[in-house]
Amino acid sequence: MSRYSAFSIFRNALSGQKNWQRAWRAAEPKPSYDVIVIGGGGHGLATAFYLAENHGIRNVAVLEKAYIGGGNVGRNTTVIRSNYLLDGNTQFYEFAMKLWEGMSRALNFNVMFSQRGQLVTAHSADQLDGFSHRANIMRLNGIDADILDRDEVRRLVPYLDFSDTARFPIHGAIFQGRAGTARHDAVAWGYARAADGHGVDIIQNCEVTGFLRDGDGIVGVETTKGRIGAAKVGLAVAGHTSVLGAKAGLELPIESHVLQAFVTEPLKPLVDQVVAYGADHFYVSQSDKGGLVFGGNLDGYNSYAQRGNLGVVREVAEAAIALMPCISRVRLLRHWGGVMDMTPDASPVICPTPIEGLYLNGGWCYGGFKATPASGWCFAHTIATGKPHPLIAAYGLERFRTGHTLDEAGAGPSAWLQ
Amino acid sequence: MLRIECPCCGLRDHDEFRYGGDASVTRPAHHDPDPEAWYRYVYIRTNQAGLHREFWQHVTGCRQWLVVERDTRNHAIASVSLARKLSARKSPARKSPA
């Protein structure tokens, strides 16, 4: 794999841009691998990369049923943050943030990570107290956090509704300056290219239809491109974890729900940070092309449809205008849906499974994108050593049985309320 | 857009309804001491990609709880029934207290 650099741009310019290498090979499956990762999304590709990079396991295949970047890694709203409250989440997401900060260099691929900061507005004194609690926990864990009062918020984001008629007046906000966004396609392509550079086979249009067994253990997969053996199989197919999990014999605390995302027509620069609305579920950032990228609540009933319904479009638009009246006449260009694995406590499941040879990475709810590098790092460690990485110790399946759930949203055991 | 044929009110937009979760899950008996049964009731879901039995309540209409069979891949609704009729059919006849 030739490295991208200023010099490579110059060299390829001289030959009319005709001699760029492909970013990753179009691999065909070998009869068997040390590790098969099912799912060519961000998490699956990152897992394959760190298996090779950190553990020297290079006889690895990533199987993707469609094409790289076509699933949730290309359907999210690209927000990256580590403003979590609960022990277990705090440390894990901050580890992810540190990996994001070095990702473009580590992958030799510009993922356009932009630390523009994220603020969440508070709409009552109590909510601001809650945010102060969160900010203190974050600071105790070495994570940057600031509490802003109403005037400070107004100086930073003057276009929010600060009028006397605002339904939920803004009291202040919690701000994380290192939060931001990244180009989500570039994350998938960067990991794919870097993993390929280590010899990982990335096999697209290869759907896993079943598992090969030896006794109770799993020794490979059946696919639309034939049978492939593997010493270990990692499942990273968020959205369809239940479907594939059932084929392997796993019973899971997961429901699939659609989450919609939206982008408006391009505007002049307006939203400099990621802004989240504390009175409803709405968050917005501005893309480099100028479109406002935003999202809100789940559609809220089980769905594998990868498309949403209009009721939620209206709800999100209402929240958007309640927070930012100035965008009421802006036109929506597109909206789309991604299928989320919703767990009953809004935290992921990433662990070895009771089935020999099978490892599970799923249940990311809304928040899978920001976790991508840490998820891959820890999942690779778990697959390579057979034991959970210390940072994901809290994300085991057994937590639902033992009562050690991490209910960050505090919404109880109904997955669609998380 | 989902449209649900309420047995009392007729065909209505799903915005009038509130989702109530998987209707195929059965609650253990009130005094069931088995933690495994409660764990499965609270957390384990088959999460079907296909026909899914689920509760909806017609909150801005007749307020009845319904059981809807819906294909989770394309939102096609196969059947709608009143939840209380189904549960009356399912539950055994009550014994009077001794």
B39 — contact with chain A (CB < 8 Å)?
Answer: yes
Instruction: With cut-offs at 50, 70 and 90, classify the pLDDT of residue B91.
Output: low
A331 touches chain B (CB under 8 A): no
Whether chain A has a CB inside 8 Å of the CB on B15: the answer is: yes
**Partners of residue A344 in chain B, C-beta under 8 Å:** 42-43
- Closest alpha carbon within chain B to A310: B1
Q: How many angstroms separate the CA atoms of A154 and A151, rounded?
A: 5
Please report, as a single letter, which amino acid is at residue B93. Answer: A
Residue A380 to residues A31, A54, A237, A388, B62: CA-CA distances in angstroms? Answer: 22, 8, 15, 10, 52
Which residues partner with A233 through β-bridges?
A36, A358
Please judge whether A305 and B72 are an interchain contact, meaning their C-beta atoms are less than 8 angstroms apart: yes
Does A67 contact chain B (CB < 8 Å)? no
CB contact set of A10 (below 8 Å; sequence gap of 6+): none
Distance CA B56, CA A199 (A): 50
Tell me which residue in B15, B52, B73 faces A311 most closely, judged by beta carbons.
B15
Interface of A with B in 5-24 (CB under 8 A): none
Packing angle of the helix pair A184-197, A42-55 (nearest 10 deg): 30
Residue B87 predicted with pLDDT over 90: no
Interface predicted TM-score (ipTM) of this complex, two decimals: 0.90
Q: Do B47 and A303 touch (CB under 8 A)?
A: no
Instruction: Count CB pairs under 8 A between chains A and B.
Output: 67
Query: Which candidate, A369, A351, A346, places its Cα nearest to that of A361?
Result: A351
Report pTM. Answer: 0.95
The residue ranges of DSSP E strands in A41-129, in sequence order, are 60-63, 79-80, 118-122
What is the nearest CA distance from A84 to chain B, expressed in angstroms? 24
User: Considering only CB atoms, which chain A residues are within 8 Å of B70?
Assistant: 301
**Sequential pLDDT tens for chain A (418 residues):** 789 999 999 999 999 999 999 999 999 999 999 999 999 999 999 999 999 999 999 999 999 999 998 999 999 999 999 999 999 999 999 999 999 999 999 999 999 999 999 999 999 999 999 999 999 999 999 999 999 999 999 999 999 999 999 989 999 999 999 999 999 999 999 999 999 999 999 999 999 999 999 998 999 999 999 999 999 999 999 999 999 999 999 999 999 999 999 999 999 999 999 999 999 999 999 999 999 999 999 999 999 998 888 989 999 999 999 999 999 999 999 999 999 999 999 999 999 999 999 999 999 998 899 999 999 999 999 999 999 999 999 999 999 999 999 999 889 999 999 8
Q: Which residues of A touch B22 (CB under 8 A)?
A: 255, 302
Contacts A303 to B, Cβ<8 Å: 72, 75
CA angle A7/A12/A18 to nearest 5° reads 165
* Residue spans of alpha helices (H) in A324-390: 368-385
Mention every residue, 6+ apart, whose C-beta is less than 8 A from residue A129.
Answer: none
